[in-house]
Structure 1
Amino acid sequence: MAGIGFELRKLFRKKSLFTNIRAYAYSSLVTIGPMLLCMVMVAVMQKLQSYVNMPFAQKELFLAGSQYAFIFSLLLTSGFVMLLSRYVADRLYEKKYEDLLPSLYGVMSICLLIGGVVGIAFLLRSPLSLTFKIAEYLLFMELIIIWLLTVYVSALKDYIRIVKSFFYGAIVTILSGVLLLKVLSIQEAYATIAAMDIGFLTTLILLMTHIEGYFLQGGTRYFHFLRYITKLPAVFAIGFISTLGIYVHNFIYWGSKMSITVGDTFRFSPSYDVPVFFAFLSVIPTMVIFVVSVETSFYEKFRSYYSVILGSGTIQDIARAKKEMNDVLLQELSFIMQIQLFFSLFAMAIGIKFLPNLGQTAEQIDSFNILVLGDCLYILMYIIVLLLLYFDDRKGALLTSSLFLIANLIATPIIITTGHHGLGLLISAAVAVGMAIMRLLYILKNIDYYTFCAQPLVVKENKTIFKKLMNRFRFNN
């Protein structure tokens, strides 16, 4: 993530237990903070609903509404988030800090415009109350901003203030929920959604205030980042396709006989979606460990290899630096695989023990176990995709992400008929991770060729229609 690597490397150079804890805590916050916050909010609100005996129909409406807002806001912003991570990292490296804040305003205006139109079009046809529609719409729009802010939050250095922003948002959500559901006795789904609106708005305002106070003011290149779409279109596509791939099996189940329609608006499959939610929690630790591992151990060898090439190193120096880089990368990747396998097995054991207490059936627990293994392979695939992007292998990363999506689209409809729910994700992830590993080994074996020979001698300007429009409206200034 943009900017986080610089801070993690500073912390780990100090070689103390306290700084290591800070580094892992910071990595956890900027990588999974918003997602974890959303999951915690949903779980707490569900407990509060049970405490006040909210009607079952309203509970389902809340669950469906929050799930739709979460998934589709993530899908809408996923391509931009991947692209902005590259853009912000480049601006930080080049010390062009004045471009950062305008780019945030620019991407927010684009995503909020698209999301606003889509959200209104979706909710207009709904027979639900106006109060619920407004609360749902606000949640969707706030989550769009939150996902975009995560790119810029990773460049901030005030860890305590970032932690407080997320913590205060969670506390405000809980207090708002107690006020609306318990004190005011509003037994409606919109009250729970509204409580989340207030909590996310609190976090959003605190983070925006911090970002605006940290970055330089006065820049005017609001849409300068758009030139990266023509410069690196594959990066945008990878972000969107990899995110769509992890949710497309849900969409297929929503269109199957296992789905229900809530409030004549939201179609989802609770018997499948709930195990999916719990299974995905098993990959969170690996996401954190990967960021720390890559940005510290691997990055140093990665930088050394290219420093030797750009410097006055001999062929022997280059060969030695390459071997050290490859060895460290494979070692760290092996470590991450072992860690994820441990957490997957641990999650399966915990699920078998405690999920029945949460009302999960034997069939759902079987699905949960399969999905945990599928997510295990998926996160390994996603990590390798990010590593391929480190070596600028956009083609390999795009092919791997696309293969995962296509395999899911083919396997999941077939698996539904067999009753082995979740196996579609497992098969798709297995195929994709196999492809990813082969591609990474190929790149590592031929890294010298890609470094010295694969670059074009003459860079041709991309004359696409989009590029011409950008030049027309001076987005490249």
Structure 2
Amino acid sequence: MAGIGFNLRKLTDRDDFLGGLMAYGYSALISSGPWIFTIVALTGTLFFGSFFVDFNKQAAFRIIIIYNFAFSLLLSGPVVMICTRWLADQIYKKDVTGVPGMLIAALGLLFITNMFLVIPFYLFATDLDLVVRFMAIANYFLITGIWLVGVFLTALKDYHPIIRAFAFGMAIGLGCVLMLAGKFGVAGMLAGFNFGLAYILFALLARILAEYPYPARRPFAFMRYFKRYWELALGGFVANMAAWIDKFIMWFSPHREVVAGNMIHFPNYDGAMFLAYLTIIPSMAAFVVTIETSFFERYVRFYQDISEHAPRSRIMRNHQSLLDTVQEQGRNFLILQGAFTLMVISMAPTIFEWLGINYLQMGIFRLGVLGAFFHVMSLFLFITLSYFDFRKPTLYLQLTFLVSNCVFTLISMNYGYQFYGYGYFLATVVTFLATFFTTIYLINELPYQTFVKQNASVSSAPE
């Protein structure tokens, strides 16, 4: 799915500062669009909403968004991963006529399966005004829809409509909050936020359907992939659960807060971790523009020569070129993200002063920034393994992250506030080391893996 990265890379070929700035800026929005929108719009909504509603109502709004963000990501993960694989296969086959049908069916599948959880929760398990409950339910489904259409963003060749959709959506959302919060309180804040989300969702849907102007045929053709690629579906849930399990555990710490009846959270931990995650945006942008595109070119060359029965010497040269690219791009990423991570950690007091953040979050924030550094490195290695279809090793590594994050967070929580954040940090270090050595081993053995282990005629032969 590196297609849009090649278009963005053309901007860097202009050999001027503006071209590079535009390429990485677009890449950041495309690779992290839903996430950036949520953070920016949530921050803006809370800031402007503070002029109209009291602290308790702001807390209710914030926890609704956090819950919807977390659980929609968890529950949509399996469908999103399967749809990503199905779309990638259709693009490879040059037969994308089934895309509109898949999009409609996947949206329906997500909405129908999620409604049995989200609707009873907000209607019966929370102590909110009725209008707020309906606005919260609508917000959940809008976020869920954006997770799914995000599958298509890097497959679209024209990135300008994507950028406009997110920019206009943020502007509409904040503008509506200003108009509605004063009169309608939390319901108005949610409604304004939802208007922005709705614009983004429908603008992206329109762009996708314009890119793939075909009748909605074979809508459930992708469903067979759940059986064929069950590791991907399970991994979509496990990976997201692994990233959130420390937050869920910390919601039961002695410092938790309860909002609207049964909605629990830990504002200092959640806020510090959300802010820490923003530090990986530069590396996400670089990954789309340079790292993935360079890797993809060598990857295609390696398998293309194999399919054309190239001589062994050329295949081995391609293999070495692939290894060199992984090492080179890994080194570039280490320098980029490592330098940015150290800068953010050293500037944490200044950042907290600028943003007016509670200094109790600083220790958690610094550990979160370090953890995000190792987390995003593991994520890129997961993507590398996925290119080679190493589904089971990837799933085992994701389970490693889930288990280690759960265990270390429970231990750190029991040691008190000064140890909060160590669980996530240690889990990311363990996961990265395991993923790094696994990736090195499998890529070094790639010719053997390709010709023997992944060769159906060989692996299925009787001994």
TM-score for the superposition, normalised by structure 2 = 0.93
Q: Show the counterpart of 2:283.
A: 286
| Alpha-carbon separation, structure 2, partners of 1:314 and 1:456 | 18
Amino acid at match of 1:58: K
| Alpha-carbon separation, structure 1, partners of 2:458 and 2:210 | 38
| Alpha-carbon separation, structure 1, partners of 2:296 and 2:27 | 15
Structure 2, unaligned stretches of length 5 or more? none
Q: Show the counterpart of 1:466.
A: none
Please give the residue correspondences for 1:31-110 in structure 2 after superposition, counting only pairs within 5 Å. 31-52=31-52, 54-110=53-109
Q: Write out per-residue CA displacement over residues 46-74 of structure 1, whole angstroms, 9 at most, x where no aligned residue.
A: 1102233x211101111101111111111
| Alpha-carbon separation, structure 1, partners of 2:71 and 2:108 | 17
| Alpha-carbon separation, structure 1, partners of 2:273 and 2:228 | 36
Amino acid at match of 1:89: A
| Alpha-carbon separation, structure 2, partners of 1:314 and 1:210 | 44
Q: Show the counterpart of 1:113.
A: 112
Aligned 8 A contact 1:12 1:296 in 2: no
Q: What secondary structure does 1:267 align onto?
A: strand
Aligned-residue offset at 1:299: 1.4
> Residues 137 and 460 from structure 1, CA distance in 2 versus in 1: closer, same or farther, beyond 3 angstroms?
farther
Aligned 8 A contact 2:275 2:365 in 1: yes
Please give the residue correspondences for 1:406-445 in structure 2 after superposition, counting only pairs within 5 Å. 406-419=403-416, 420-445=419-444
Query: Which one of the candidate residues 247, 263, 266 is aligned to 1:266?
Result: 263
Deviating more after overlay: 32-41 vs 343-352: 343-352
Aligned 8 A contact 2:49 2:178 in 1: no
Q: What secondary structure does 2:453 align onto?
A: coil
Amino acid at match of 2:45: M
Aligned-residue offset at 1:219: 3.5
| Alpha-carbon separation, structure 1, partners of 2:228 and 2:5 | 23
Please give the residue correspondences for 1:189-200 in structure 2 after superposition, counting only pairs within 5 Å. 189-200=186-197
Is 1:130 matched up with 2:130? yes
Q: What secondary structure does 1:188 align onto?
A: helix
Is 1:158 matched up with 2:168? no
Q: What secondary structure does 1:366 align onto?
A: helix
Amino acid at match of 2:167: F
| Alpha-carbon separation, structure 2, partners of 1:13 and 1:49 | 40
Q: Identity rate of aligned residues, in percent?
A: 27
Aligned-residue offset at 1:261: 0.7
Q: Show the counterpart of 2:246.
A: 249
| Alpha-carbon separation, structure 2, partners of 1:416 and 1:13 | 46
Q: What secondary structure does 2:439 align onto?
A: helix
| Alpha-carbon separation, structure 1, partners of 2:42 and 2:73 | 16
Aligned 8 A contact 1:2 1:86 in 2: no
Amino acid at match of 2:43: A
| Alpha-carbon separation, structure 2, partners of 1:354 and 1:154 | 32
Q: Show the counterpart of 1:296.
A: 293
Q: Write out per-residue CA displacement over residues 167-205 of structure 1, whole angstroms, 9 at most, x where no aligned residue.
A: 111111111011113xxx226222111110111111222
Amino acid at match of 1:193: L
| Alpha-carbon separation, structure 1, partners of 2:459 and 2:129 | 55
Q: Show the counterpart of 2:141.
A: 141
| Alpha-carbon separation, structure 1, partners of 2:19 and 2:93 | 27
CA RMSD of aligned residues (A): 2.1
Aligned 8 A contact 2:7 2:157 in 1: yes
| Alpha-carbon separation, structure 1, partners of 2:58 and 2:277 | 22
Aligned-residue offset at 1:15: 5.8
Q: Write out per-residue CA displacement over residues 187-228 of structure 1, whole angstroms, 9 at most, x where no aligned residue.
A: 622211111011111122222222222213223211111111
Runs of 4+ in 1 over 6 A off after TM superposition: none
Query: Which one of the candidate residues 207, 212, 217 is aligned to 1:210?
Result: 207
Q: What secondary structure does 2:88 align onto?
A: helix
Amino acid at match of 2:136: E
Aligned 8 A contact 1:2 1:85 in 2: no
Aligned-residue offset at 1:312: 4.3
Aligned 8 A contact 2:100 2:217 in 1: no
Q: Write out per-residue CA displacement over residues 208-258 of structure 1, whole angstroms, 9 at most, x where no aligned residue.
A: 222222213223211111111111111112222111111110000112222
Aligned-residue offset at 1:417: 1.7
| Alpha-carbon separation, structure 1, partners of 2:3 and 2:321 | 25
| Alpha-carbon separation, structure 2, partners of 1:328 and 1:154 | 22
Aligned-residue offset at 1:357: 5.0
Is 1:376 matched up with 2:373? yes
| Alpha-carbon separation, structure 1, partners of 2:286 and 2:234 | 25
Deviating more after overlay: 193-202 vs 340-349: 340-349
Is 1:365 matched up with 2:365? no
TM-score for the superposition, normalised by structure 1 = 0.91
Deviating more after overlay: 314-323 vs 384-393: 314-323
Please give the residue correspondences for 1:219-238 in structure 2 after superposition, counting only pairs within 5 Å. 219-238=216-235
Aligned-residue offset at 1:8: 4.8
Aligned-residue offset at 1:456: 4.6
Q: Show the counterpart of 1:470.
A: none
> Residues 101 and 460 from structure 1, CA distance in 2 versus in 1: closer, same or farther, beyond 3 angstroms?
farther
Please give the residue correspondences for 1:447-462 in structure 2 after superposition, counting only pairs within 5 Å. 447-457=446-456
| Alpha-carbon separation, structure 2, partners of 1:271 and 1:8 | 37
> Residues 314 and 456 from structure 1, CA distance in 2 versus in 1: closer, same or farther, beyond 3 angstroms?
closer
Aligned-residue offset at 1:12: 6.9
| Alpha-carbon separation, structure 1, partners of 2:340 and 2:404 | 25
